[in-house]
A and B are shown apart, each in its own frame.
Chain A
Amino acid sequence: MRNFIELKDVAFSYELPNRLSIPALKGISLEIETGEYVAIIGANGSGKSTLARHLNALLVPQQGYVQVMGYDTYDRANHRKIRGQVGMVFQRPEDQIVATTITEDIAFGLENIGVPTPEIRDRVHQALELMGLWEERHRPPYLLSAGQMQRVALAGILAMRPQCIIFDEATAMLDPLGRRTIREMMARLHKEGLTIITITHFMEEAVEAERVIVLNKGTVALDAPPASVFSDVVQLAELGLALPPAGGLAKQLCLHFPELPPNLLTPLAVIEALDALPHSFDITPIPISKFTEGTEKTIEIAVDNLGHTYMQGTPLAHRALEGVTLAIAHQEAHGILGATGSGKSTLMQHLNGLLRPQEGTVQVGNYDLNDPRTDLKAVRRMVGLAFQIPELQIFEQYVGDEIAYGPRLFNLQREELRERVRWAMLLVGLDFETYKDRLTFTLSGGERRKVALASILALWPRILLLDEPTAGLDPQSRQELLGHLRHFSASGMTLVLSSHQMEDLAILTTQLTVMKKGSTVLHGSVREVFGQVEHLRELGLGLPVITQVVAGLRQRGWVLPAGIITLQPLVEHIKRARV
């Protein structure tokens, strides 16, 4: 094998207008061979994307050199050759689509490298079929789901027949099904001999690679196979990373069953290791004590038979909700899951009065949202809504002003306003004195997310709605955010969150509602819903890792109740089976 990509002492800094420069890469030397499957991981701001952009000559090193297939990226004349061979799929699906229809977009790269028309047509056709987009080929891109757009982007790259594809957090914005499709494609393309380089915040994706490169502050901290990278938990934490969920579960199981092999990283490995323990099948399962849901709680949010159509009365009318029914108790943490486009966001926007019910009824607290006289401003004050990637909506120059925007509109002034801002910042772990005068655009990804959250909390909402709260965050920022949300929930705030991260839902919520194509199809406690393994799989949704392990063991004949979502009952059952 020869070196496909070679980096030698590569350094790169971003220049700011005020003559400061932020070093992003500090002397990186790497060799990537043809046909390798490499994952690049690291905390937000560790230089992952900068490094990736050096690999296909989007950036050119300020020191050192990068050679792709022997071509130096410094020479502009080589760029077309390199980019024809090294494709790249970016994080935000909607930003990388150039043309007004899918077919045109897939042809874009081929048009650029001068492929003749009949061949473009053939290759586009193949790419459409390979990615399962044939039915969609004439649709405008902005009407596609995120998962479909990402498939379009990948199809556009595959049509160019590259030798290497770089995925720059390509799965961050996708639902479980979309993620699975992209991950399966990566594995398949790797098998076909392509070099795959993936940048990710999902440790379970890094585990699937052959080699993991960990970046820390612009340098290579680790470069080894996944088994060795994920062997030292303390070191991972220092690098802003964590074990993959299955690895975390295995570590906890090891405390109870020291005979388990170390370094189990995938759900399958955990299942096989547990199954290999000597065990007997004739045990009676312990009934999991019914959850303490007997006490009648007051209903905070009641949605009945809600329907909604966007662009009503035009040929573009699009049915988003149909017969949605939902009841959320006071102080409950309620999760909503479903594929992209299943209507989660539309439902959430009904809960704080951004949308008025067209059909059916919505009652939030004492407010009847069907009543045209209802004070919508008061509803929105009571129900805070954090949109997906809320930090993109930041518009003030200073952190303090950003958080004060809402309270100010509700006529808070001077000391009171100041106290409110201080309180909100404290809740999300931002120090008031250090952060209030920081410029918002200089904040890191995690900090911006916190500011966005604080700006909603500053209104003292009684109910908090969160749309994909952890999307795009590195493992450590994610843990922190989940910690805060847990704290809010414990202190009596009603939480409603939609997420593609099953682990988040398992950690935070007690009740779940599953949506499919605009309707609610499944309700129940977290345990009941995650117990319906088959049903969830059919819907294209994922499972938390512990549920995956339980399902796997059940398949192998273990007598376990389906709805185990916490460690303790799992450990109990395994112990029983071992006697």
Chain B
Amino acid sequence: MSDFEFLRFVTIGQYLPTDSMIHRLDPRTRLLSSLLLLLAITVAPHLMGIAIAIVTVIAGLIMARIPLKYALSGLLAPLPIIALLAMIQIFFGFQPDNGPLLWAWGPITISTGDLWNGVALITRFVALILTISLASFCISTTEIVHSLDYFLKPLRLFGIPTYDFILMIQVALRFLPLLAQEAERIAKAQASRGAEWGTGKSNLFQRIRQAFPLLIPLFLTSLRRAENLALAMEARGYQSGERRTALQQFHFQLADGIALSLILPIIYFVIRS
């Protein structure tokens, strides 16, 4: 039914402005907490730590007034791949001394340790995906851009042009949904001329072949867009590397202090437990 809704697959920037207490925090607090939590989940050695992280994220989702069902539906798409990874971990875990042996068939052995590793892998991925979802629901692209700008500021001391870098990210984020819309339009135009888009009949090979005529106009229109955008930016006084002022100025408030003083111990427990 929705063969052409390419925009559906662009989940970056699925920002949900619910104006919750989380949304009202300083974006730097939100971004920093999310990044630290992601890092902690990645290095957490034990299942207990990951479980703490999942509880924290779910609490965060509730506080941010995100419908839980919607947030959890984001897990469905990557689930098969994660399950497959877990299977490999369980069947082919080569760590010796992995607890009591449960089952063995030739070189394939399953020990309780392997099982635990598999479960840990799944929960780790679930925790990561939920954290990323929470972050993208609660931090708009603009806020990401401004927070990054702030965090990268020290680099300017070394003469690195962070203004340009930040603007580049901003423009890319802005054009991603447009690119999806454009691809959709071109695919539709070609389908109208007999290409097998959205008839549900094409096999994988045909689909790859169809992508080529899609890429050329997409590339050309992107170039044209880039040119127009560069003109529009120049016309509005943009000059690369020049010092600019900013509309947004962020203020670190008491709520941010409380939020950070809550999240930091949690992160400690995620890593240490």
- Does A439 touch B at the CB level, under 8 Å? no
- Minimum C-beta distance from B171 to chain A (A): 6
User: What are the interface flags for B244-273 relative to A under an 8 Å C-beta threshold, 1 for contact and 0 otherwise?
Assistant: 111111000000000000000000000000
Contact partners of A124 in chain B: CB under 8 A: 247
Contact partners of A95 in chain B: CB under 8 A: 224-225, 228-229, 232
Contact partners of B229 in chain A: CB under 8 A: 95-96, 98
B142 contacts A114, C-beta separation under 8 Å: no
- Does A288 touch B at the CB level, under 8 Å? no
Give Cα distance in the complex from A94 to B174, angstroms. 10
Interface residues of B in 211-264 (CB under 8 A from A): 213-214, 216-217, 220-221, 224-225, 228-229, 231-239, 242-249
Contact partners of B70 in chain A: CB under 8 A: 314-315
A84 contacts B174, C-beta separation under 8 Å: no
Q: Can you name the residue of chain B whose Cβ is closest to the Cβ of A461?
A: B192
B245 contacts A114, C-beta separation under 8 Å: yes
The contact of A455 among B4, B193, B217, by CB within 8 Å, is: B193
B199 contacts A138, C-beta separation under 8 Å: no
A393 contacts B236, C-beta separation under 8 Å: no
- Does A116 touch B at the CB level, under 8 Å? yes
- Minimum C-beta distance from B107 to chain A (A): 45
- Does B186 touch A at the CB level, under 8 Å? yes
Contact partners of A160 in chain B: CB under 8 A: 236-237
- Minimum C-beta distance from A361 to chain B (A): 15
User: What are the interface flags for A388-407 relative to B under an 8 Å C-beta threshold, 1 for contact and 0 otherwise?
Assistant: 00101111000000000110
Q: Main secondary structure on chain B at its contact with chain A?
A: helix
Interface range, B side? 35 or more
B228 contacts A100, C-beta separation under 8 Å: no
Give Cα distance in the complex from A140 to B189, angstroms. 26
- Minimum C-beta distance from A373 to chain B (A): 11
Binds B, one of A102-110, A230-238, A469-477, A511-519: A102-110
- Does A459 touch B at the CB level, under 8 Å? yes
User: What are the interface flags for A294-319 relative to B under an 8 Å C-beta threshold, 1 for contact and 0 otherwise?
Assistant: 00000000000000001110111000
- Does B5 touch A at the CB level, under 8 Å? yes
Binds B, one of A179-187, A349-357, A543-551: A349-357
Among B140, B142, B232, chain A packs the most CB atoms within 10 A around the CB of: B232
- Does A289 touch B at the CB level, under 8 Å? no
Known contacts A53-B231, A138-B17, A312-B2; A113/B237 CB under 8 A: yes
Q: Can you name the residue of chain B whose Cβ is closest to the Cβ of A142?
A: B177
B199 contacts A376, C-beta separation under 8 Å: yes
- Minimum C-beta distance from A110 to chain B (A): 7
- Does B119 touch A at the CB level, under 8 Å? no
Give Cα distance in the complex from A579 to B221, angstroms. 61
The contact of B192 among A94, A316, A352, by CB within 8 Å, is: A352
Give Cα distance in the complex from A140 to B173, angstroms. 11
Q: Can you name the residue of chain A whose Cβ is closest to the Cβ of B171?
A: A98
- Does A535 touch B at the CB level, under 8 Å? no
B237 contacts A406, C-beta separation under 8 Å: no
B237 contacts A83, C-beta separation under 8 Å: yes
A117 contacts B246, C-beta separation under 8 Å: yes
B217 contacts A409, C-beta separation under 8 Å: no
The contact of A384 among B173, B192, B217, B249, by CB within 8 Å, is: B192
Give Cα distance in the complex from A160 to B236, angstroms. 9
- Does A196 touch B at the CB level, under 8 Å? no
B189 contacts A117, C-beta separation under 8 Å: no
Among B201, B246, B249, chain A packs the most CB atoms within 10 A around the CB of: B246
30 residue pairs bridging A and B, Cβ less than 8 Å apart: A58-B231, A79-B239, A90-B228, A90-B232, A95-B229, A96-B228, A98-B167, A98-B229, A98-B233, A98-B236, A99-B142, A104-B247, A109-B236, A112-B236, A116-B245, A117-B249, A121-B247, A140-B177, A153-B232, A315-B67, A354-B188, A376-B198, A377-B196, A380-B194, A393-B190, A395-B216, A395-B217, A395-B220, A409-B194, A456-B193
Interface of A toward B, CB cutoff 8 Å: 53, 56, 58, 79-80, 83-84, 87-88, 90, 92, 94-101, 103-104, 107-117, 120-121, 124, 138, 140-142, 153, 156-157, 160, 310-312, 314-316, 349, 352, 354-356, 358, 376-377, 380-381, 384-385, 387, 390, 392-395, 405-406, 409-410, 455-456, 459
14 additional contacts (CB under 8 A) given A90-B232, A108-B236, A385-B192:
A88-B235, A90-B231, A97-B174, A98-B174, A100-B141, A101-B142, A112-B244, A117-B249, A142-B177, A377-B199, A377-B201, A380-B193, A392-B221, A394-B217
